C-alpha cells in the first residue's frame, strides 16, 4: 500500500508523528506541574509552626480584641517580633503570637509612644519601667505556659507582661506594691478586655496564697533572695522565673522548677538589670533557731 499510495502514506505518518509529539509535550507539562505543586506544598509545610508532641490542642482563653489598640501599629509589632525576638531564638509559637497581638504602646505613657516598640525598657512613672520586649518574650517562653495554666506575677507595673501571659494562659494573678500603678493597670486591663487578668495592690513577697497553687510564677523586680512563700505556692511540676540580685549588685534571671515530689532545682539563665523589689524582701532574712 505504501508503494501504491506514497502520498497518502506520508500524510498519515505525518499526522501520527504530530499526534505523538503533542502527547509527549502534554506529558512533560503535566509532570512539571506536579513537581511544582509538590515543591510548593513542601515549602508551605516548612513555613508552618512545628507541632509540639505531647501538648494538647486546647482552646486559648477567649479575649475580645475589640479595642482599637489591637489593630494600631501592627506592622511595628511584626517588625519587633522578627528582629528583636525571633532573631534571638525565642521560638515558642504561642509566645510569638502573643507578642504580635498585645499592643505595647497601650502600656506606655504618652511621652514614650514613639519608642513603644524599640528594643529597650521604658519608664512608666513612679520609678518603674516596662521591660524590654525580648526579655518579656524570653521569660514567658521559659514558663512553658499552656492554655489551662494559672500564673502569678510579682510586679504588675503597666500590665504588659501580664497581658502577654494572659494571651496564652487561662488565668493571671498579678500583684503590684505601688498602689497607683496597681489601680491604673487594673483599669487598663478592663479597658483592653483582659477579663482573665486579676490585679491586686500588695507586697508580692507574700504571693497570693488564696489562689495558689500556681503552674507558673514570674517576677519583674529584682530581689536579693527568692521569697519562700512563692516557692510554697508553686505547684509540683511548676516553673518560676525572676531576677535575683547577687554579689556586687549583679542580677541574673533565675529559673526554678519544682518536680512532682516537691524538690526544687535552680539555674541562672541570663544576666539582667531590673528595678529592685521593695517591701518585705528588703528586710534582713530571719534566721531559723538552731
pLDDT at res. 125:
92
pLDDT at res. 59:
47
pLDDT at res. 22:
63
Half-sphere exposure of 275 (CA within 13 A, CB side): 20
One of 18, 32, 131, 288 is an active-site residue; which one?
A: 131
18 in active site: no
Q: Which residues of the chain fall below pLDDT 50?
A: 1-3, 35-59
pLDDT at res. 58:
47
What CATH class does 68-281 carry?
alpha beta
pLDDT at res. 28:
60
pLDDT at res. 5:
52
One DSSP character per residue, 148-178 reads T-EEEEE--TTSHHHHHHHTTSSEEEEEESS
pLDDT at res. 38:
47
In the chain, domain spans: 68-281
One DSSP character per residue, 184-252 reads HHHHHHHHHT-TTEEEEES-GGG--GGG--EEEEEE-SBBSS--HHHHHHEEEEEEEEEEEE-GGG-EE
Query: By C-alpha distance, which of 201, 229, 225 is closest to 217?
Result: 229
Grid coordinates representing 113 are: 509612644
∠ at Cα 167 (161, 168), nearest 5°?
A: 100
Amino acid at each position: 500500500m505504501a508503494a501504491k499510495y506514497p502520498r497518502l502514506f506520508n500524510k498519515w505518518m505525518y499526522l501520527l508523528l504530530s499526534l505523538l509529539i503533542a502527547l509527549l509535550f502534554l506529558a512533560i507539562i503535566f509532570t512539571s506541574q506536579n513537581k511544582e505543586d509538590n515543591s510548593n506544598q513542601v515549602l508551605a509545610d516548612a513555613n508552618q509552626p512545628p507541632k509540639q508532641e505531647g501538648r494538647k490542642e486546647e482552646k486559648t482563653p477567649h479575649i475580645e480584641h475589640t479595642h482599637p489598640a489591637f489593630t494600631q501599629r501592627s506592622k511595628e509589632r511584626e517588625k519587633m517580633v522578627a528582629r528583636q525576638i525571633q532573631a534571638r531564638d525565642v521560638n515558642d509559637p504561642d509566645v510569638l503570637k502573643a507578642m504580635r497581638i498585645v499592643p505595647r504602646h497601650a502600656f506606655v505613657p504618652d511621652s514614650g509612644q514613639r519608642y513603644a516598640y524599640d528594643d529597650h525598657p521604658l519608664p512608666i512613672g513612679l520609678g518603674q519601667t516596662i521591660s524590654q520586649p525580648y526579655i518579656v518574650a524570653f521569660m514567658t517562653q521559659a514558663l512553658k505556659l499552656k492554655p489551662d495554666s494559672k500564673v502569678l506575677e510579682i510586679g504588675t507595673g503597666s500590665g504588659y507582661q501580664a497581658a502577654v501571659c494572659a494571651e496564652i494562659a487561662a488565668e493571671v494573678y498579678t500583684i503590684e506594691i505601688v498602689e497607683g500603678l496597681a489601680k491604673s493597670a487594673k483599669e487598663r486591663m478592663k479597658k483592653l478586655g483582659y477579663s482573665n487578668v486579676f490585679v491586686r495592690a500588695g507586697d508580692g513577697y507574700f504571693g497570693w496564697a488564696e489562689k495558689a497553687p500556681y503552674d507558673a510564677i514570674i517576677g519583674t523586680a529584682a530581689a536579693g533572695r527568692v521569697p519562700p512563700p512563692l516557692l510554697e505556692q508553686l505547684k509540683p511540676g511548676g516553673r518560676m522565673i525572676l531576677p535575683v540580685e547577687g554579689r556586687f549588685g549583679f542580677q541574673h534571671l533565675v529559673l526554678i522548677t519544682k518536680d512532682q515530689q516537691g524538690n526544687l532545682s535552680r539555674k541562672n539563665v541570663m544576666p539582667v538589670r531590673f528595678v529592685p523589689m521593695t517591701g518585705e524582701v528588703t528586710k534582713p532574712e530571719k534566721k531559723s533557731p538552731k
